Structure 1
């Protein structure tokens, strides 16, 4: 494990005292609706972990607004509002999607008049056709499988209050969806979720994180994440058994032991390699690290000093 440098560790019992709200602004049904099917986040965790986190984001947002105002005064320019961008990274199967959707919902409840958008960098993966033609389909998720120039241009446009479109990725078909785009138009908050959120374009000194006002890394031991990945794979197979359009349908017809071995090989040769070489080494670029134990619960928080 890469050493955590310049972070203050905070136990969950201490972290939960850093907010005064007693009311959680969402229901159990709303929480269940945004959870990934192999996640187990609870209302208690929302109260103890995510409400203090929203308070912290408010502090960063307030400071950003003050800085933008001061810079406009210094430069004697008209004050232009800019979206507050939050990056969320971590391994495959670690729970990034649930965390991102939860933060989006909590920000919407906190900033009732604000537009809070969420994107995933999966939309900037090259289509399978391109990956196959370049013999890198087995490197999907690795840096070379992303159109990083397009992703950085997208962030630059949004950061400067422009209207930008991006492709849509589907895990069901394991590919970019043809003729479908997601449009982002001048949001107040933008959450950017993906395994490559802290990585940079090859031969380019610009990092995605240069556009972020706040950033989070979801962390856990790699053996634990592997177990979650295998659990998720089995649930994908259960859902795909009657769906012939699903990428996972063909695997659902295999012998269970063969399918499990296939998933283990994918984890070991692709996802674990990607985690150890490209994802985890960027962890220190986050402002906040949420560490999970084997029951999916966050047990420790690390805040950049």
Structure 2
């Protein structure tokens, strides 16, 4: 299927939020199409039934939207495999756990995820097992267990998240599970404005949202940027297209 044959939706449902993409440009559409085509070819060249693609980037860099549009495009291509995507956010510890361990104010930091569970799930997927992955809800701000069922043999799974390139602790084992890893190169100012607006949409007032960004999200951005050298390929953020 050629680029001109692909239809793009006006809205997307991403982590139980409706995202308006009716204004995306032709260059952005082309970027999403090219990415979908590239990883489809990559899957074919792997010559194995299951492949794992990673998309790493800071909060607000467009990872979730890229993943959902890719799913939309690949379905139209009529690919001979199932494409699915999951988010690292689904492997957050529950809010009750974060509160009991004095981590709630740092949600999104690398130690607020159950990395052992995450690695175990990806190993089972790569091993060909049927598996139920969790999802993440931005309505309740919690992981939701057993949401995404993968039973098929031939699957291309895209995983998006902030810490996929981290080398320390339990994260170090993660990199070798991915067949290819992309990094979205985002601008600090754009990340700041986008994440602050996300916090406000989640119920914080502006002052609190700014404070949360500066004490947590900004530090995450710096660490994630340092780890970006471990990616196989770099993608531009959607606002730079």
Normalising by structure 2, report the TM-score. 0.85
1:255 maps to none
CA distance in 2, matches of 1:141, 1:232: 13
Is residue 2:59 matched to residue 1:92?
yes
Superimposed CA distance per residue, residues 189-211 of structure 1 (whole angstroms, 9 cap, x where no aligned partner): 111111122225615741x2322
Distance 1:38 1:139, change over 3 A: farther
Distance 2:42 2:19 in 1: 31
Residue by residue, what CA displacement relative to the aligned partner does 1:13-44 show, whole Å, maximum 9, x if unpaired?
Answer: xxxxxxx94514124xx253357637676251
1:149 aligns with 2:116: yes
Is it true that 1:230 corresponds to 2:211 in the alignment? no
Q: Quick check: 1:88–1:193 contact (8 Å CA) kept in 2?
A: yes
After superposition, the Cα gap between the structure-2 partners of 1:50 and 1:229, relative to the gap in structure 1 and judged at 3 Å, is same
Matches within 5 A, 1:41-120: 42=24, 44-65=26-47, 81-120=48-87
**Alpha carbons 2:136, 2:143 under 8 Å: kept:** yes
Describe how 1:66-215 pairs up with structure 2 within 5 A: 81-177=48-144, 181-186=147-152, 187-200=154-167, 202=169, 205-206=172-173, 208-215=174-181
Name the CA shift for 1:164/1:201 in 2 (closer, same or farther; >3 Å): farther
How far off its partner does 1:143 sit?
1.6
Residue in 1 aligned with 2:228?
283
Give 1:129 deviation, angstroms. Answer: 1.3
Cα separation, 2, equivalents of 1:202 and 1:134: 18
Matched residue of 2:169: which SS?
coil
- The CA distance in 2 between the partners of 1:205 and 1:220, in whole Å, is 23
Contact residue 11 and residue 20 of structure 2 kept, 8 A? no
1:90 shift after superposition? 0.9
**CA distance 1:38–1:262, change in 2 (3 Å):** farther
Aligned to 2:239: 297
Distance in 2, Cα, partners of 1:148 & 1:163: 20
Cα distance in 1 for partners of 2:36, 2:156 equals 13
Larger Cα-atom Rg: 1
Paired residue for 1:14? none
Structure 1 residue runs of 5 or longer lacking an equivalent are 1-19, 66-80, 238-247, 252-258, 300-305
- Return 5+ residue gaps in structure 2 as ranges: none
TM-score, L = length of structure 1: 0.69
> What is the CA deviation profile of residues 52-82 of structure 1, one whole-angstrom value per residue up to 9, with x for unaligned ones?
32333244223311xxxxxxxxxxxxxxx43
